[in-house]
Structure 1
């Protein structure tokens, strides 16, 4: 599949934004969030800005972005529509939580209730985003349960690493948050590794099996096209195996290994060095997730390519 920048930015930015909301809500319920207003404004501002920027970027890949709002009416049958509905709905508890945190007493209701609603809505939004891809049966690399698990872990992982940098800057190392960061990184790393193992065992059928000749290589005498078209552009993207393996290793190091080591190491450093370590961890994690998202699309093969190529190779 074509790894369009708008879709990569959307899944990375919105995932990190929702992850930041989720982890901030969890810390609030546990009573571990610093109370100072500048920190609250920075945290909610970054989270909502990332979510909004990601959602806006998602419309750029549409043929008619100005019609994106019409997708909201198809929520009964479309995961894309459900995602749009949940994305808008999440703003309500997020703004309520932010208001009760930044200006206590201004927003009615306990902050814990707003935090719980925000966590549920953010998780549901990430789930619906994952299901957009999980539901596509013509793409074997996406049509498996690991896709949902990866989305539900990578988003909170990104948010947790970013929040760790913010908290460390504001008030020093928070060991509860550090434990959450380590847990999310280990979980996301394990699930992503499982996804890649599953993907190696999953592939498209070939023309031979379609003709009742399994194991035989069948080539087309003539191609059904004379030049590249929309389907080949969007669904015929291919990446070399060696190149993909290098990018996988890079994403593992930057998204998982480096942030894990830096987060653990920050607990033993002085405040100024801990701040530097956690911000490097945040930058590294986001970089790694961007590469992982690119691979998620680039390594996916749509079955329509069989019509044009005769085989998936």
Structure 2
């Protein structure tokens, strides 16, 4: 059968990338990092309450609980009006007749133990229902972090599907590291006697989390470069801005918070120092994740400019 002649204006068939969403902007990425930090704060708070090692006092528990709620809820509140730069939340477009995604349902379920803790915390926080609610909050936060970590890249990076199992680890470590800084800020801002969460072992634990996070992020970048069947990023395809941005992000994520962790025990103005560490970590993680998405775009389309 003779081939059909190519009509004027016809273009050769190309790969259909219409189903691949564009990588989020820096603002959206910052909101995602804030949400991850909030879930990490809930995770550590619920774990401490469940184990019975959290400081006594109703306010001591309500302050970090409320802060975590703010960090987690900023994203869905901004997505509610359907802004052009943030049309959905966890794949859920709000509107009449819309149904929540599984990620969105899991995130909503996590609010239930949070509300239970808000109504149960008392003076010593040793009530069995309080501890059970804390354990439920920790479990739901962990499940939400793990389950939502894969959905963001299933369509953007199909070539990296065998390596999805590495991303939940990095997200959980990142959440615990950033959430630990925010939890530490809540505790140092409240007067009280030293507790296991504000003592030197806690500071060492945060530094250990920083090391684990650096290792997990390094593995994630290596997976992007060496994924089997993927297009290797040639040296000419690596813009200098990418490496400069990664250096700035590493400084904000690891150097500044770790220096603050070492100095906060001997210097005054601990609240300001710890606040600086927490904000620096959020900004650094936002920049780092934005650069990672830009590198994914380069990998998918070598002619794409970050």
TM-score by length of 2: 0.75
Q: What is the CA-CA distance between 1:153 and the residue it aligns to?
A: 1.3
- Asked if 1:88 is matched to 2:116, the reply is no
Q: Would the aligned equivalents of 1:18 and 1:47 in 2 still touch at CA under 8 Å? A: yes
**Alpha-carbon spacing, 1:264–1:122, altered in 2? closer, same or farther (3 Å):** same
Q: Distance in 1 between matches of 2:230 and 2:51?
A: 50
Partner residue of 1:111? 130
Give the 3-state SS of the residue equivalent to 1:299 in structure 2: helix
Q: Distance in 2 between matches of 1:6 and 1:283?
A: 15
Q: Deviations over 1:265-301 (max 9, x none)?
A: 323x15x343332222112111111112212322213
Q: Would the aligned equivalents of 1:11 and 1:54 in 2 still touch at CA under 8 Å? A: yes
Mean Cα deviation higher: 193-202 or 115-124: 193-202
**Alpha-carbon spacing, 1:127–1:69, altered in 2? closer, same or farther (3 Å):** farther
- Choose between structure 1 and 2: higher helix proportion: 1
TM-score by length of 1: 0.73
Mean Cα deviation higher: 81-90 or 93-102: 93-102
Q: Distance in 1 between matches of 2:258 and 2:161?
A: 27
Partner residue of 1:286? 282
**Alpha-carbon spacing, 1:161–1:142, altered in 2? closer, same or farther (3 Å):** farther
- Asked if 1:150 is matched to 2:178, the reply is no
- Asked if 1:250 is matched to 2:248, the reply is yes
Partner residue of 2:18? none
Q: Would the aligned equivalents of 1:158 and 1:286 in 2 still touch at CA under 8 Å? A: yes
**Alpha-carbon spacing, 1:189–1:303, altered in 2? closer, same or farther (3 Å):** closer
Q: Deviations over 1:78-126 (max 9, x none)?
A: xxx2211111100011111232225779xx9521111111011011111
Q: Would the aligned equivalents of 1:22 and 1:122 in 2 still touch at CA under 8 Å? A: yes
Q: Distance in 1 between matches of 2:299 and 2:182?
A: 38
Q: Would the aligned equivalents of 2:159 and 2:230 in 1 still touch at CA under 8 Å? A: no
Q: Distance in 2 between matches of 1:94 and 1:261?
A: 32
1:1-313 matched pairs, under 5 angstroms = 1-5=22-26, 7-57=28-78, 60=83, 61-62=86-87, 65-67=93-95, 70-72=98-100, 81-101=101-121, 110-136=129-155, 138-140=157-159, 144=163, 145-170=165-190, 171=192, 173-202=198-227, 241-267=239-265, 269-270=266-267, 272-301=268-297, 305=301
Q: Would the aligned equivalents of 1:160 and 1:181 in 2 still touch at CA under 8 Å? A: yes
- TM-align CA RMSD: 3.3
Mean Cα deviation higher: 15-24 or 182-191: 182-191
> Unaligned 5+ residue runs, structure 1?
73-80, 207-238
Mean Cα deviation higher: 147-156 or 131-140: 131-140
Q: Distance in 2 between matches of 1:6 and 1:20?
A: 21
Q: Distance in 1 between matches of 2:97 and 2:121?
A: 31
Q: Would the aligned equivalents of 1:134 and 1:147 in 2 still touch at CA under 8 Å? A: no
Q: Distance in 2 between matches of 1:263 and 1:86?
A: 33
Q: Distance in 2 between matches of 1:99 and 1:298?
A: 43
